[in-house]
């Protein structure tokens, strides 16, 4: 996949036209909050739908398969379109697509139908994919290149604020009614079972209806807000002096795999926590109580990102990334070797060390790519499909060896990230067209 490029780094700074980028940065940050909130709601939907439709772990992980699988389908087209129409239009398009997906939860709950829930999740995730492909590189380029990791980490902190409050709100609204056990469901007559499923599924309608309205309002606001154009980085840039391919950049390819493993590990852990805390030898907690504790996992990521945005301005991003990934791997291993509250604390602590990983991997992956940034962003966002595949594989493992020891898979993922942080380096490549 080759396009004409000029191998220069493109950023927009306050000195470019006398304007400050802080206002646009603050506006775009609201988008990070919204997709963080919606992504984390999947962790609440998983135990809820598992109970309603009497699913095993591998089956219910189709929630994450549908959601994160959308990244594999829509990221590369979104990246290519972003280069032609610009970041702002793609942000608006992403928000409106998300609103359509959120509204589809209403008929899915009325039926109720697990396949229709999955369809709604795919459309919702398609919108989030478009949003991420546009917003992540926009933030990275909207300011000095040397502080790109710190800047994206700061905006991702607000993404984590969304993931932090989602378990509390989602648990309160969606998991408020105690579900029946598998044995009780098995005794129901078909008519009783259908009525039970409709009653349980109806709890998702109000939250997603409100979310759809908020997304439409935000799309209107973003559409009316004056976001600065980033010269040479979007919207049909035609200055061609060399010809290059993103696949010639080894650092980007390594970064794509790192995003795949990171998102897979983060989502896999978050997806299983509520059920993990429900285990008798771990916490023996109700699903609603377990959902509230999920706040500490995502809240740790939020705190870590605020701290990380300051640390990354003074310490090498690769050094911080390697240290965090190594500690996360060790915490997961400790969780597997222990039980009770200690195992709960160690697995929740992983969230803090997850904090800087995505924005740091992302900015390191696009480092030095210049006008190839939009295409590279599409590829990096495609790798978010790790959030579909790794949780599903972990579900298969959990169905066979138990949820406790299935966490070895995220540990392996974190070790790869350590390797990327140490070995990955951008290569400036100049090729005569």
The pLDDT tens digits for 370-387 are: 777 767 877 887 898 898
Number of domains comprising the chain: 1
Pick from 52-56, 126-130, 346-350 the range whose average pLDDT is largest: 346-350
Higher pLDDT, 107 or 72: 107
Distance CA 327, CA 315 (A): 17
CA 261 – CA 253 distance, rounded (Å): 13
In a domain, 408, yes or no: yes
User: Which residues partner with 5 through β-bridges?
Assistant: 242
Report yes or no on 193 lying in a domain.
Answer: yes
Q: pLDDT tens-digit profile of 23-69?
A: 778 888 888 888 889 988 888 888 888 888 888 888 998 998 899 88
Q: Is the pLDDT of residue 132 over 90?
A: no
Quote the DSSP letter at residue 432. B
Beta strands per DSSP E along 178-232 = none
Does residue 393 sit within a domain? yes
Residue 266 inside a domain? The answer is yes
Q: Is the pLDDT of residue 16 over 80?
A: no
Kindly tell me if the per-residue pLDDT of 3 is higher than 50. Answer: no
What confidence tens digit (pLDDT) does each residue in 241-260 have?
A: 445 677 878 888 999 999 99
Report d(CA 421, CA 405) in Å as an integer.
27
| β 2-5/242-245 pair status | antiparallel
pLDDT in tens, 274-307: 889 989 999 888 877 888 888 899 889 889 988 9
Q: What is the CATH number of the domain that holds 40?
A: 1.20.1250.20
| pLDDT value, residue 427 | 57
pLDDT in tens, 163-194: 888 888 888 888 766 666 666 777 777 787 78
Q: Please indicate, yes or no, if residue 239 is contained in any of the structural domains.
A: no
176 or 346, higher pLDDT: 346
Can you say whether residue 367 is alpha, beta or left, with left for phi > 0 and alpha for psi between -120 and 50 degrees?
Answer: beta
Range of lowest pLDDT (130-134, 151-155, 327-331, 419-423): 151-155
* For range 92-97, the mean pLDDT: 94
Percent residues over pLDDT 70 in the chain: 87
H or E stretch at 60? helix 57-60
Contacts of 353 (CB under 8 A, 6+ apart): 300, 304, 324, 325, 327, 328, 331
Domain of 76, in residue numbers: 19-231+247-423
Q: Over the stretch 391-400, which tens digit does the pLDDT of each residue have?
A: 999 999 999 9
Q: Determine the pLDDT at residue 114.
A: 92
Give pLDDT, residue 20.
Answer: 59
Furthest-apart CA atoms within the chain: distance in Å:
72
- 49 is a domain residue: yes
CB within 8 A of 334, min separation 6: which ones? Answer: 343, 346
- pLDDT, mean of residues 203-212: 91
Cα gap 399→36, rounded to integer Å: 28
pLDDT value, residue 122:
94
Residue 317: inside a domain: yes
Instruction: Identify the weakest region by mean pLDDT among 103-107, 123-127, 192-196, 280-284.
Output: 192-196
pLDDT at 103 over 90: yes
Beta bridge pairs of residue 3 = 244
What confidence category does residue 202 fall into, taking pLDDT thresholds of 50, 70 and 90?
A: confident
Average per-residue pLDDT for the chain: 83
The residues facing 243 across adjacent strands are 4
Of 26-30, 223-227, 359-363, 374-378, least confident by mean pLDDT is 374-378
CB 218 within 8 A of CB 102: no
Task: Tell me if residue 2 falls in helix, strand or coil.
Answer: strand
In a domain, 242, yes or no: no
Distance of CA 147 to the CA centre of its chain: 22
Give the pLDDT of residue 336.
Answer: 95
* pLDDT given at position 176: 66
Residue 15 clears pLDDT 70, i.e. is over it: no
């Amino acid at each position: 996949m080759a396009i004409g490029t000029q191998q220069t780094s493109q950023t927009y700074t306050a000195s470019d036209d006398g304007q400050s980028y802080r206002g646009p940065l603050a506006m775009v940050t609201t988008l990070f909050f919204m997709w963080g909130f919606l992504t984390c709601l999947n962790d609440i939907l998983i135990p809820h739908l598992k109970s309603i439709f009497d699913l095993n772990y591998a089956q219910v992980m189709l929630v994450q398969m549908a959601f994160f699988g959308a990244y594999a389908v829509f990221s590369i087209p979104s990246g290519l379109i972003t280069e032609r129409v610009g970041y702002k239009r793609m942000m608006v398009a992403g928000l409106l697509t998300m609103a359509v997906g959120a509204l589809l939860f209403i008929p899915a709950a009325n039926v109720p139908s697990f396949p229709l829930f999955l369809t709604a999740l795919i459309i919702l995730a398609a919108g989030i994919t478009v949003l991420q492909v546009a917003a992540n590189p926009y933030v990275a380029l909207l300011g000095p290149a040397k502080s790109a990791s710190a800047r994206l980490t700061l905006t991702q902190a607000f993404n984590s604020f969304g993931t932090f409050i989602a378990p509390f709100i989602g648990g309160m609204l969606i998991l408020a009614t105690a579900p029946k056990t598998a044995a009780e469901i098995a005794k129901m007559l078909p008519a009783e079972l259908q009525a039970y499923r409709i009653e349980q599924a109806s709890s998702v309608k109000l939250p997603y209806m409100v979310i759809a309205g908020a997304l439409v309002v935000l799309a209107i606001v973003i559409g009316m807000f004056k976001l600065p154009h980033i010269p040479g980085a979007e919207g049909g840039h035609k200055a061609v002096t060399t010809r290059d391919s993103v696949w010639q950049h080894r650092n980007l390819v390594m970064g794509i795999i790192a995003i795949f493993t990171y998102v897979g590990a983060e989502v896999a852990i978050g997806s299983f926590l509520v059920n993990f805390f429900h285990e008798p030898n771990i916490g023996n907690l109700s699903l609603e109580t377990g959902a509230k504790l999920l706040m500490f996992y995502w809240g740790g990521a939020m705190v870590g990102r605020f701290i990380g945005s300051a640390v990354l301005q003074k310490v090498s991003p690769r050094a911080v990334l390697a240290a965090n990934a190594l500690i996360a791997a060790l915490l997961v291993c400790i969780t597997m070797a222990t039980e009770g509250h200690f195992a709960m604390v160690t697995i929740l602590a992983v969230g803090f060390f997850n904090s800087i990983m995505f924005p740091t991997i992302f900015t390191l992956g696009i480092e030095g790519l210049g006008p190839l940034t939009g295409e590279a962003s599409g590829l990096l966002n495609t790798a978010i499909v790790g959030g579909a595949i790794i949780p599903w594989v972990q579900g298969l493992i959990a169905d066979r060896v138990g949820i406790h020891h299935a966490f070895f898979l995220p540990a392996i993922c974190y070790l790869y990230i350590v390797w990327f942080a140490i070995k990955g380096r951008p290569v400036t490549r100049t090729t005569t067209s």
